[in-house]
Amino acid sequence: MSAKRPPAPPPQLPGFTYLELLGSGGFADVYLYEQHLPRRKVAVKVLLPDRMAGGSVEQFTAEANVMAMLSTHPAIVTIYQAGLADDQRPYLVMENCPRPNLQVRYRAATFSVAEALRVGIQVAAAVETAHRAGILHRDIKPANILVTEYNRPALTDFGIATTTDGADETAGMSIPWSPPEAFGDRPDSGVRSDVYALGATIYTLLAGRSPFEEPGGRNTAADLIHRIETMPVAPLERADVPASLEQALVRALAKSPSARFDSAVSFARALQRVQIELAHSVTPIDILDDSPEAEDDEDADGELTRVRGIVSIEPTTAPPAGSTRRKDRADAVSPFAPSAPPVTSADADHTVLRPSAGERDATVRRPRTLDAAPEQTVQRRQPAATSAAPAGHESDETSGTPVGASTGGADPAQRPRSRSWLWISLGAVAAVLVVAVVVVASMLQPPATAEPENSPAPTSAPQDPLAGFVPRVGDLAGATSGDQVTFTWTNPDPIEGDTYLWYPVTLDGAGAPQRVEAETIAVPADPSGRTCIEVQLVRSNGGAGDAVRGCTP
């Protein structure tokens, strides 16, 4: 565990208190600080003093601007602020992601298919968002995908990102996850290069190794480049990986860029279809579109029509509902469009309901008024009310004219009686209808089955919401003895089968994880004078608690 270089001293930042070193890279150190207002822990990336010359400052500034542009995305590390420290070193204040990154995770244990699909879709949405803003990441790999406190992946390290128009194509690369075109005489990169790196990352999570790494074989840089350029990707050899997922990964890792998915969102949709096939919960694709006037062509399944602002693309609607729907499409129906010809003044007195498209020839209901009801009711067998009608004649049935209807000579006293008969008739009809409905309902109702007298009432076992919770280890501390440091810790809730995953934390980042059963481990002391490790409690069912870091003073 020798350090390549000692860390640079942390800068004094107004409003922040330094806590500890998180890691280091070739261009910068990353420290943990506590921000005073609002009070929270943050990660601060500081450019190294010996990197101030040349174009490193401009590259660092470009990274700050790119991440600030994209960091509102839920799967991209959030940038809070940037500036110059008192010693003139540029720094970035970022979201602190305390959980182990995906490189540490996959080296400890391979991912389940469900988690690999979820992470792949979420990161693909972040990559698509960057592409729509005109940014290529160019260094997608497990170590550059951090994990937030809420167990969400967060893409970081846009240090060698460039615009889609191209810049310095040789700025940097990570060989195991780089596409074949990155190793040509004239290195090239584009949208489909990021798709390749994303596919290689998902493959790595499932296989526990990069796509062209041979376990137990030679895996030098030259060997990896040769395999990436010439050999097909090896099958995953996992019984729980469906053929559709294998096919999606093979397409993403195609040698020719034209044979790959044409965009990150197309790759994400393919992963969504695998989730549907496996009856998993479908992960939405969150996209921030920086060019609202540009339209996307609908794919074969109609899963995406248009993205405006931040949207969630759910595969359960075709096309998705909500703000992604265009209002000016030719087939769109305006809520104010008439569903029938306009009503003229001549029709206004008798037209009540507008016929639908399939009912244009149906009967049009006309309004009735209570004042007209007595005149439209034919009274039969009514006794004569005036001397104009001979005794014994109730109506002039030969002419078909009811008494009192032809000339209006009927006794006005009969009108109330006619109205009352109308209401009585309507009431009788309503009563008959109610009785008929009750009889039909009783005939259709299935016969009730008697429950056994001694049958116990169904009960459900109470659910324990903390049943799957795995605690952190406690009292992690190290004691130095010569060139050895002995770390010990405690298990707050011991269960049979518990083991511990530990890995050293050096200036180069987290080392390879190792599994132990005892609650102690001895490691060589770091030459820098400060030795750190992180420890996780792992249950026999695969569940793991949060990592706890311990360092010697």
Kindly tell me the sign of the dihedral angle through the C-alpha atoms of 510, 512, 517, 521: negative
So what's the pLDDT on residue 457? 54
Q: In b/e form, how buried is each residue of 342-378, taking b as 16+ CB within 10 angstroms?
A: eeeeeeeeebeeeeeeeeeeeeeeeeeeeeeebeeee
Residues 42 and 71: their CA atoms lie apart, in Å, by: 15
Give me the mean pLDDT over the 71-98 stretch.
90
> With bands split at pLDDT 50, 70 and 90, how would you rate the model's confidence at 54?
low
Peptide bond into 319 cis (omega under 30): yes
16 pLDDT more than 60: yes
Residue 266, token pair as written in the block: 């197309």
Q: Tell how many helices (H) and how many strands (E) occur in the chain.
A: 9, 19
Residues 80 and 85: their CA atoms lie apart, in Å, by: 15
DSSP code string of 54-104: TTHHHHHHHHHHHHHHHTTSTTBPPEEEEEE-TTS-EEEEEE---B--HHH
So what's the pLDDT on residue 512? 74
Least confident of 87-91, 121-125, 240-244, 397-401: 397-401
Range picked from 41-55, 412-426, 441-455 for highest mean pLDDT:
41-55
Identify the residue whose tokens are 């244990």: 109
For residue 48, give the 3-state DSSP assignment: coil
So what's the pLDDT on residue 436? 75
Candidates 51, 99, 132, 138; catalytic one: 138
Residue type, 529: G
> With bands split at pLDDT 50, 70 and 90, how would you rate the model's confidence at 367?
very low
* Residues whose CB falls within 8 Å of the CB of residue 494, separated by 6 or more in sequence, listed in order: none
**pTM for the model:** 0.56
Residues 267 and 128: their CA atoms lie apart, in Å, by: 10
**List of domains in the chain:** 10-96 (3.30.200.20), 98-328 (1.10.510.10), 474-551 (2.60.40.10)
98 pLDDT more than 60: yes
Cα of first residue to Cα of last residue in the chain, in angstroms, is: 17
Reported as a single tens digit per residue, the pLDDT across 99-157 is 999 999 999 999 999 999 999 999 999 999 999 988 888 899 999 999 998 999 999 88
Nearest to 132 by CA among 164, 177, 87: 164
Contact 42, 35 (CB under 8 A): yes
Residues 290 and 415: their CA atoms lie apart, in Å, by: 76
> With bands split at pLDDT 50, 70 and 90, how would you rate the model's confidence at 56?
low
Reported as a single tens digit per residue, the pLDDT across 172-191 is 568 999 999 999 888 788 89
Per-residue H/E/C for 245-307: HHHHHHHHCCCCHHHCCCCHHHHHHHHHHHHHHCCCCCCCEEEEECCCCCCCCCCCCCCCCCC
Residues 351 and 354: their CA atoms lie apart, in Å, by: 8
Q: Is 186 a catalytic residue?
A: no
453 pLDDT more than 80: no
CB atoms within 10 A of CB 45: 26
HSE toward the beta carbon, residue 242, CA cutoff 13 A: 17
159 pLDDT more than 90: no
Of 407 and 13, the one with more pLDDT:
13
**192 alpha carbon, distance to own chain's centre:** 22
For residue 128, give the 3-state DSSP assignment: helix
